[in-house]
Amino acid sequence: MRAPDWLTARPVAHRGLHDISRGIVENMPGAVQAAIAGNFAIEVDIQLTADGDAMVHHDHALGRLTEATGELIEKTAAELKAVTFKDTSERMMSLPDLCTMVAGRVPLVIEVKSHFAGDRKLVRRMAEVLSSYQGPAVGMSFDPDQVLALRELLPSRPRGIVAQRTYEDEYWAYLTQEQRDSMLYLRHGLQTQPHFVAFKVDHLPAPAPWIARNVFGCALLGWTVRTRDQRTRVGQYADQMIFEGFVP
């Protein structure tokens, strides 16, 4: 069940090798190109559009990085490609755009963002795009159902669980307690059968990722590494880091 060696061979640039002080914005073409130039694997996020496409963007809603506002899922891919950003003249990419740009030069670590509503359209679109992509790529998600969809719809691609020790912080407040509990302790692992786990670095060490790594042979990535202490921690307890804010 372990991921291929290429996944952990090099540090993974979180949302690309972005640096807002230089006008390089997360999940945008410049961040992808910078990561390729540094020979780093690239972690990106994908979101579902109103017309069933996959766009490279972290937030469910526009506004933090963009001039426009509104939920991504309510806009078409064409509408999202026209959105202007605050700190760059670049435009949002689709997953096919990303694959064309990377062209297999470095591994892609694709996080499937979820509304936890049981909708598998995003993974289905991801499967369509990756069916003709020859480069190294993996999928992962916090949502157990999306990880299961990765297993069922992309069985030839390695898949991972994104996780942390608890889910009681404000970010997860929109989920029910049952949904939050379903993610605890990697308890869906026997069903989803991940090849790797991406675990919050500040929550390491923890029993569940230790068991996944040392008993079931899953590769373990620590996210998001930004400080020297976090880098030391990930070196002690994981196989590789997902990093931002510096160049390893």
pLDDT of residue 2: 81
Locate 59 and state its tokens.
């937030």
CATH of the domain at 164: 3.20.20.190
Contact between 185 and 165 under an 8 Å Cβ cutoff? The reply is no
- H/E element, 221: strand 219-225
How many of the other CB atoms lie within 10 Å of CB of 135? 13
Contact between 236 and 7 under an 8 Å Cβ cutoff? The reply is no
Q: What does pTM read for this prediction?
A: 0.98
In a domain, 152, yes or no: yes
pLDDT of residue 221: 98
Residues 135, 102: Cα–Cα separation, whole Å: 8
**Per-residue pLDDT reduced to its tens digit, 139-181:** 999 999 999 999 999 999 999 999 999 999 999 999 999 999 9
Q: What is the DSSP letter of 85?
A: B
In a domain, 12, yes or no: yes
pLDDT of residue 26: 98
Which string of DSSP letters, residue by residue, matches 15-52? Answer: TSS-BGGGTB-TTSHHHHHHHHHTT-EEEEEEEE-TTS
In a domain, 113, yes or no: yes
Question: Could you tell me the residue range of the domain that residue 117 belongs to?
Answer: 5-243
Q: Provide φ and ψ at 42, rounded to 5°.
A: -120, 125
CA distances from 231 to 11, 31, 208, 246, 247 (A): 11, 21, 20, 11, 12
Question: In the chain, how many domains are there?
Answer: 1
Residues 17, 19: Cα–Cα separation, whole Å: 7
Rg (CA), the chain: 17
Locate 213 and state its tokens.
């790594």
In a domain, 238, yes or no: yes
In a domain, 17, yes or no: yes
**Per-residue pLDDT reduced to its tens digit, 20-39:** 999 999 999 999 999 999 99
Tell me the mean pLDDT in the region 74-97: 97
In a domain, 224, yes or no: yes
Maximum alpha-carbon separation in the chain: 48
In a domain, 248, yes or no: no
Mean pLDDT of the chain: 97
In a domain, 56, yes or no: yes
Contact between 49 and 75 under an 8 Å Cβ cutoff? The reply is yes
